[in-house]
């Protein structure tokens, strides 16, 4: 389940209660309880001041996410989120099949193309998930950015939950839930077959895993189709407990509708999206950037 037993993994070892308790208590001290506490007003996201970088980074260290509110408004330049990400060490983009050649995906309603068969390119709601849960083990998505160019006329709200909070909730409920969700066959994504051609093979893996740098990683989707959970009763009970938590009014679940020039930077936290409606004056378009790296501690650009 874990690559080794180095001390750095201690908080996430289900058999190590002492280190877990110490980590959990520190994690929950002064934990933000409103989305407003996670919003950082900045000037130019392409070149953060040291104070702006530190404000965003402090929030990411605590909650694995932050919302920035920049001055670029509806500027459609994709370099805006790319340069912001670069300052946090995010450079290895996942060039998934929905992305443009530069690795950035434009999320908007698309008709008459293959994309209209995939929910992110429609106005339908998207259930809780982490991005890239269907990726291979060597291409896991560890950081995610969303950048708003224009919001919908109505709807399009994101719910956000730090995956470490989800881990705490499950472990406190029953440590065996964590053991079950760390099994290599906990969650299987069937192959993606389109027009008789296999686009992606079947992928199995754990829900929770610990990266070699000691960070906790999560792959999850609340979809009921195109997913196969382990038949283990513990796994099924763990999934049900998580689903109940995600549907609860927990103060740890944040909600935000990004406005022009605003964006999310995160270590691929759990998130969903409500349905939305466009009109003649408001067409929702967000840029999505997926990375194989986590947010780093050192600013990559200076001002």
- pLDDT of 43-96, one tens digit each? 999 999 999 999 999 999 999 999 999 999 999 999 999 999 999 999 999 987
pLDDT at 296 over 60: yes
pLDDT at residue 11, rounded to an integer? 95
Residue 59 shares a structural domain with residue 152: yes
Q: Quickly count: other Cβ atoms within 10 Å of residue 48's Cβ.
A: 27
From 227, 251, 275, the end of a domain falls on 251
Residue 244 shares a structural domain with residue 297: no
Number of domains the chain contains: 2
Q: CB of 188 within 8 A of CB of 203?
A: yes
Over residues 11-49, the pLDDT tens digits come to 999 999 999 999 999 999 999 999 999 999 999 999 999
Residue 197 shares a structural domain with residue 240: yes
Residue 109 shares a structural domain with residue 133: yes
pLDDT at residue 4, rounded to an integer? 43
Q: Residue 267 belongs to a domain with what CATH number? A: 3.60.130.10
Q: Give CA–CA dist 298/67, Å, rounded.
A: 19
Q: CB of 42 within 8 A of CB of 48?
A: yes
Percent of the chain with pLDDT over 70: 92
From 251, 275, 295, the end of a domain falls on 251
Residue 61 shares a structural domain with residue 132: yes
Over residues 124-151, the pLDDT tens digits come to 999 999 999 999 999 999 999 999 999 9
pLDDT at 303 over 60: no
Residue 71 shares a structural domain with residue 108: yes
Residue 270 shares a structural domain with residue 128: yes
Domain containing 241 equals: 1-30+163-251
Over residues 248-286, the pLDDT tens digits come to 999 999 999 999 999 999 999 999 999 999 999 999 999
Q: CB of 229 within 8 A of CB of 236?
A: yes
Q: CB of 276 within 8 A of CB of 125?
A: no
Residue 210 shares a structural domain with residue 188: yes
Residue 49 shares a structural domain with residue 153: yes
| Mean pLDDT calculated for residue range 181-190 | 96
Residue 145 shares a structural domain with residue 292: yes
Residue 40 shares a structural domain with residue 150: yes
Residue 206 shares a structural domain with residue 93: no
pTM higher than 0.75 for the full model? yes
């Amino acid at each position: 389940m874990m690559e080794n037993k180095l001390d750095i993994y201690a908080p996430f070892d289900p058999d190590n209660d002492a280190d877990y308790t110490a980590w959990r208590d520190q994690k929950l001290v002064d934990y933000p309880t409103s989305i407003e506490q996670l919003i950082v007003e900045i000037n130019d996201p392409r070149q953060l001041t040291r104070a702006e970088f530190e404000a965003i980074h402090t929030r990411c260290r605590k909650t694995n996410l932050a919302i920035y509110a920049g001055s670029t408004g509806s500027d459609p330049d994709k370099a805006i989120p790319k340069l912001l990400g670069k300052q946090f060490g995010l450079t290895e983009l996942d060039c998934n099949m929905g992305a443009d050649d530069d690795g950035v995906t434009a999320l908007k309603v698309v008709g008459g193309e293959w994309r209209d068969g995939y929910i992110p390119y429609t106005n339908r709601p998207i259930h809780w998930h982490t991005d890239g849960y269907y990726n291979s083990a060597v291409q896991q998505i560890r950081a995610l950015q969303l950048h708003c160019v224009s919001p919908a006329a109505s709807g399009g709200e994101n719910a956000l939950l730090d995956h470490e909070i989800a881990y705490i909730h499950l472990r406190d409920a029953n440590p065996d839930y964590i053991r079950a969700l760390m099994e290599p066959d906990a969650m299987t994504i069937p192959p993606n077959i389109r027009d008789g051609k296999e686009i992606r093979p079947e992928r199995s893996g754990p829900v929770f895993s610990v990266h070699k740098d000691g960070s906790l990683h999560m792959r999850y989707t609340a979809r009921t189709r195109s997913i196969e959970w382990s038949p283990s009763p513990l796994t099924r009970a763990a999934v049900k407990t998580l689903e109940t938590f995600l549907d609860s009014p927990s103060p740890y679940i944040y909600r935000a509708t990004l406005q022009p020039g605003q964006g999310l930077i995160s270590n691929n936290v759990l998130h969903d999206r409500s349905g939305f409606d466009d009109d003649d004056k408001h067409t929702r378009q967000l840029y999505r950037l997926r990375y194989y790296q986590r947010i780093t501690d050192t600013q990559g650009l200076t001002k």
